[in-house]
Structure 1
Amino acid sequence: MNSTADFVSWFRSVAAYINTFRGKTFVLGFSGEMVADEKFISFIHDINLLASLGVRLVLVHGAQPQIQQRLNDSNPDNPSTNGISITDAPTLHCIKEAVGRTHFEIEALLSMGLPNSPMANADIHVASGNFITACPTGIIEGIDFMYSGKVRRVNTNAIESRLDHGGVVLISPLGHSPTGEIFSLTLENIATEVAIALNAEKLVFMLDTPLISPIETENRNQLPRELTVTQGRQLLQNIQNRPAYLTDKIHKIIACAIKACEGKVSRTHLINRHTDGAILKELFTHYGIGCMISSETLETLRNANIEDVGSILQLIEPLEAEGILVRRNRELLEIEIERFIVFEHDGLIIGCAALYPFPQEKICELACLAIHPSYRNQGHGNRLLKTIEERAAAQGNLKLFVLTTHATHWFIEHGFSEISLSELPKSKQDLYNYKRRSKAFMKTLQ
């Protein structure tokens, strides 16, 4: 700025952003490479500035180079498959050490209050805790990923409490299971799920992104400045004509951004971490310097009709192939379509469920509950179940049962209890498939 007039003009331009962002929740994800960079302290200063402006901040850090260094010191062989590390017990021990050290280094930097610096008189309270409940990645194509995991649940109440008291929440890439196990997670998975769970205004990823295309032109070798969810989905699906900037890393991040936006996060920003003050330039200028992904989605839960048959088949066929759902052909689905409800998201069928009554016993069966993989863990299954329960109760039924091979814990968490096959309606017992060995669960309707 060359003059006072320039400063006044600039300050007026950012005042609207300051007012808009005050009290809003931002989730920021940044890598271990960024933490190790000597310029990381400048990012910490920017975090302090955002906090002082009343932005509610949740920071999710990575620690990949720190973990790799620790593994090199003790166990250089750390295999991975499809980009997911296989975490055995010795590896997990190294991960916990590296992540813990990185966490405390970040916390120490956030706690600084050096005079004559942007941190002067800073009073940031860093809050940490067991905010993330994790579950194992499991066995994929015969490979056991052991202690590599994914987010199962976010303790939103605990995080909100810390934010309400003015704290900056810092989350590390580890999660705990209800059985006391610890799992190694990715920062992208955590940041995305936390942003969705908190209904965050923004999800921000600080990345080694390529240059952003100029506003007035489009360059296939550079990341676009803006993407809608629909455009982002089309970009990821265009495998044969993949642009140069769409590396595996950027592909993964855009997929996370799409999921976040579809989970009601207003905006997701991808920002090049190497630019000084990048997050401030992206958030407080009209055009920004990163790539912004936004949602344009509408959701409807409605009765299925005959025109939905093709979409429902596309939704359930992969689950049928995995043995999760019982196979249904098109003819049967057309006959039973009136028993189905569907979850429509911007014209796309992303979920379905069916209700089969047994009037004599005043019992109903919940069947064919399915959610599209891209829309899971966003509450859609809960809404489908609630709607089915309400309809079953409205029909005068007293109980609802389900047969499942894979989702036992989910149904238990939603009030179902395991029962013996003899408690099922007689006609259902006669049709039971002993080869599938499904477990039966029942719930009393309110």
Structure 2
Amino acid sequence: MLVFSEKITVSQILKFQQQLIEAFLNSTDMSEENKESPIVPVSMDSWVEWFRSVAPHIHSIRGKTIVIDLAGETILQEHFSSLIADISMISAIGARIVLVYGVRPQVEELMSLKAIESQYVNGIRVTTADALVCVKEAAGEARLDIEAAFSQGLPNTPMAHSQCRVVSGNFVIARPLGIIDGVDFKFTGVVRKVDSEAIHRELDGGRIVLISPLGFSPTGEAFNLTSEDLAASIAGALKADKLILLTNVDGVRRFDEVVTELTAEDAREFINDKLVDEEDIYNLTFALKALEHGVERVHIVPYAMDGGLLAELFTHDGVGTMMTMENLESLRQATSDDVSGLIKLLEPLEADGTLVKRPREKLERDISHFTVLEHDGVIYGSAALYQFPEEKLGEMAALTVDAAYQGFGDGERLLRHIENQARKAGLNRLFVLTTRTMHWFLKRGFRPAGVDDLPIEKRRLYNWQRRSQIFIKDL
């Protein structure tokens, strides 16, 4: 049985964003003035359903180290204060945050005001002594703006009752980039070493670590660093769970469509064969660097989207591109370890009568018949194949995709997999019993059938009270 229901959308996530923040912050401060929340949900049932749907994501990032790279343009966005509130909330629920920021547009503005000419080679700034003065000025001003944003605390705002503590320091030792192809990059530098122990101590104390795009040499010189490279280096040194690149693109695009998930192998192919544009290659290069240094996941998220960071972290599909070393999603044979996950998936549908109830003992006995869809450790789809070799018939049962994951063709994937299994077993027809999704099967080549068309064993077990409709498909 394939079950469809309404999916919680990204727009709903963003709509309820303020309510989530207020609900969480007020839960930690139940003084009289906080007991009356100014937030009134449009639909309490929808809000509760949504809040519960993000709970697994909240649990998944608690205690995790997340490095976030803010492009300099991000600081200039109208919703910058909202972004800082989002980061504050993510920190408040237990994530360990390192915030790296860039200042390219700010430096460009200062250099223009001072009539200093900018010079780039292969997208990297040649930092002269005069340009370095502008970098220092821009970095200092941006740091103050970010710290000020974290210090907000007006009532009835997402930052109310927030107690974020932000620390900065000389955590990064740098060296000059040097002379490349005859070009002297002067005070442009690269990361030589990250003081990961010092950063971890600050994170252990519950503080957000803020790192500017400047590194320092043992001789006391300052070097201008590319924020993306800096963030990737820090994430690798910390063995961070996530690196998030807030960029001016909405994700990696292939054939003008955002690729929501990429493996490191895919990224190398995109770069080597130039299958994506230069901007994507630029971002993928640093994402790969982080993955190759032990970071579990890299997210490329558009900074122009208000709430994009929350949508990426707290929804299944996110809003940008997520990269991992290996594919997180798998369609595979179920094992005994999957019984609890299957129970959680099937139980609600058994409770409302959509599926026939299967006791745990039966699931344990039948587990070898099941195929599951798993994403990031969560069982979100299933189907079972029961064979009747004498009649060369197969029954597909418990074809189910969790409501939050529907609309992406996973039902068809499971169906095709079961059909292939049946063919390999020498079966020539597949049948299903359903009470809810007759039209779905009709559209996929099944035809109505009767009880007499069932295998003899199944005929004896047919439940005349449920009166399930029978559909058969030739393989």
Tell whether the structures are fold-level matches, with TM greater than 0.5.
Answer: yes
User: Separation in 2 of the partners of 1:139 and 1:211?
Assistant: 33
Equivalent residue for 1:172?
A: 212
Equivalent residue for 1:199?
A: 239
Q: Report deviation, 1:87.
A: 1.1
Equivalent residue for 2:322?
A: 292
Equivalent residue for 1:102?
A: 142
Contact 1:111–1:126 at 8 Å: present in 2 too? no
**1:86 matches 2:121:** no
User: Separation in 2 of the partners of 1:34 and 1:189?
Assistant: 17
User: Separation in 1 of the partners of 2:101 and 2:202?
Assistant: 18
> Runs of 4 or more off by more than 3 Å in structure 1?
210-213
Q: Report deviation, 1:211.
A: 6.4
Deviations 1:276-297 (A, max 9, x none): 2111111111111110000139
* Percent identity of paired positions between Structure 1 and Structure 2: 42
Deviations 1:371-417 (A, max 9, x none): xxxxxxxxxxxxxxxxxxxxxxxxxxxxxxxxxxxxxxxxxxxxxxx
Higher relative CO (Cα under 8 Å, sequence separation at least 6) belongs to 2
Deviations 1:41-82 (A, max 9, x none): 110110111011111000011111110111111133121211
Equivalent residue for 1:184?
A: 224
Query: What CA RMSD, in Å, does the superposition of the two structures yield over aligned residues?
Result: 1.5
Equivalent residue for 1:317?
A: none
Contact 1:75–1:91 at 8 Å: present in 2 too? no
Q: Report deviation, 1:85.
A: 1.2
TM-score normalised by length of structure 1: 0.62
Query: SS at 1:123's partner residue?
Result: coil
**1:51 matches 2:94:** no
Query: SS at 1:235's partner residue?
Result: helix
Equivalent residue for 2:311?
A: 281
2:258 alignment partner AA: L
Equivalent residue for 2:63?
A: 23
2:309 alignment partner AA: I
User: Separation in 2 of the partners of 1:211 and 1:254?
Assistant: 10
Query: SS at 2:145's partner residue?
Result: helix
User: Separation in 2 of the partners of 1:43 and 1:290?
Assistant: 16
Q: Select which of 237, 256, 268 maps to 2:272.
A: 237
User: Separation in 2 of the partners of 1:93 and 1:208?
Assistant: 26
Equivalent residue for 1:390?
A: none
User: Separation in 1 of the partners of 2:131 and 2:60?
Assistant: 44
Deviations 1:203-238 (A, max 9, x none): 00111114677xxxxx61133111100001001011
User: Separation in 2 of the partners of 1:25 and 1:43?
Assistant: 18
Query: SS at 1:112's partner residue?
Result: coil
Query: SS at 2:267's partner residue?
Result: helix
Equivalent residue for 2:258?
A: 223
Contact 1:131–1:155 at 8 Å: present in 2 too? yes
User: Separation in 1 of the partners of 2:118 and 2:44?
Assistant: 57
Contact 2:251–2:301 at 8 Å: present in 1 too? no
**1:116 matches 2:156:** yes
1:262 alignment partner AA: E
Unpaired stretches in structure 2, ≥5 consecutive residues: 1-11, 13-41, 328-475
User: Separation in 2 of the partners of 1:275 and 1:77?
Assistant: 32
Deviations 1:10-44 (A, max 9, x none): 12211111112111100000111110111111101
Query: SS at 1:293's partner residue?
Result: strand
Q: Which has the larger radius of gyration?
A: 2
> CA 1:220–1:87 in 2, change beyond 3 Å: closer, same or farther?
same
> CA 1:149–1:212 in 2, change beyond 3 Å: closer, same or farther?
closer
**1:270 matches 2:300:** yes
Query: SS at 1:189's partner residue?
Result: helix
